[in-house]
Amino acid sequence: MAQSAAPAAIPAAPLTLPLKAIAPWAVFFGILMLALIYFVGAEQGATSLISGESVHEWVHDGRHLLGFPCH
């Protein structure tokens, strides 16, 4: 009985989500997430989209502690 109960917990055919359903979300949100990581991790360091140092200075401690090269 103990053995027969164990396999029942594993679904016979694991559920998969079709790639067509994932792709639009992946493209749009992938770009959005990359932009967020860029502003936290790299803006006003090696490259600069916004002039000045304000973004860099604001996220300074997070950038160091999250392991991104800072200055």
Partner 1 sequence: MNSTAVRSLLVRGMLAGLAAGVLALIVAYLMGEPHVDAAIAFEEAHAHEHGEVELVSRAVQSTAGLATGVLVYGISVGGFGALAFCFALGRVGRFGARATAALLSGAALLAVYVVPFLKYPANPPSVGDPETIGKRTTLYFLMMALSILLAVAAVIVGKRLAPRLGTWYATVAAAAGFALAVGLAYAFLPAVNEVPEDFPATLLWQFRLSALAIQVTLWVSFGLLFGHLAERVLNPKAAPAVERTAAPEAAAPAV
Residues that bind partner 1 (CB under 8 A): 1-2, 4-5, 8-11, 14-19, 21-22, 24-26, 29-30, 32-34, 36-37, 39-42, 45-47, 52-54, 57-71
**Nearest partner of 54 among 46, 44, 64, judged by Cα:** 44
Q: How far is the CB of 34 from partner 1 (least distance, A)?
A: 8
CB of 49 to partner 1, least distance (A): 14
- The least CB distance from residue 51 to partner 1, in Å, is 13
C-alpha distances (whole Å) from 11 to each of 6, 7, 16, 41 are 11, 8, 12, 41
**SS3 assignment, position 47:** strand
